[in-house]
Structure 1
């Protein structure tokens, strides 16, 4: 039966929306992209994002809840790998392609995925906010 002839499946739609929400965050998209190429521990993923391990673990928990990543424990380390998401990532890259049809760096394959991910989407470094200390306002 073709797509037009199928009846609406509310549960499938809810699952699809949950997957899209999980991938909608840039950090989670980058994690999924890296994990689609190789299994990595949380510490390496945190380094890839330029984020703390705790923040990275929270992103991974959301991806795991959406069924996009799986984990395994080896001693005290937890390793993550992506579920079958290549089609999702390929479609996202295709949809994100500029209107002129130019290929973006995200769609390009790379021999070293962790290096490529860092080069393609280097995180913006933020300075920590210090509570209680404000700069005085300056007049121009």
Structure 2
């Protein structure tokens, strides 16, 4: 088998965990979903979408910004928020939740192993095939 294990990178793992923690709140997940796909919205509109206070929405956005998941742009007195390229992360989280759920609701599903298998399968399918080059001196 010609697979290579990716070396463990403690810093990368810490950053990944920080991203997952930032998304691990229903309001923040919904904010990212609303902003994904290139949408750019001010905090007042995002608060309205959530049905939450502007102050609470601002705190959620600050947490997402700290994790590098949203960026801002100022126009006059308004600040507009835009999500980084997170749509794939959000979709994979949904897929993992559905696989772990078995489609039967909380606690009644196939388990985390099935969720991991589905996510790995999708990641493998999206990965391009390795390019095989002939060794030096071999005909092409």
Which of the five TM-score ranges fits, normalised by the shorter chain?
0.5 to 0.7
Structure of larger gyration radius:
2
Query: How far 1:100 sits from its partner (Å)?
Result: 4.3
1:124-139 alignment runs, 5 A limit: none
Query: How far 1:30 sits from its partner (Å)?
Result: 0.4
Q: Which blocks of at least 5 consecutive residues in structure 1 are unaligned? A: 102-140
When the two structures are aligned, how many residues end up with a matched partner?
101
Let me know the Cα RMSD of the aligned residues: 1.9
Q: 1:99 aligns with which of 96, 102, 118?
A: 102
Quick one: structure 1 residues 13 and 54, their matched pair in 2 at CA, closer, same or farther if it must change by over 3 Å? same
Provide TM-score, normalisation by structure 2: 0.67
Question: Partners in 2 of 1:60 and 1:31 — Cα distance?
Answer: 8
Larger relative contact order (CA 8 Å, sep ≥ 6): 1
- Residue of structure 1 in register with 2:35 after alignment: 35
- Higher share in helix: 2
Query: How far 1:90 sits from its partner (Å)?
Result: 1.2
Provide TM-score, normalisation by structure 1: 0.67
Q: Which blocks of at least 5 consecutive residues in structure 2 are unaligned? A: 105-140
Question: Partners in 2 of 1:99 and 1:51 — Cα distance?
Answer: 31
Question: Partners in 2 of 1:93 and 1:100 — Cα distance?
Answer: 12
- Residue of structure 1 in register with 2:57 after alignment: 56
Query: How far 1:35 sits from its partner (Å)?
Result: 0.5
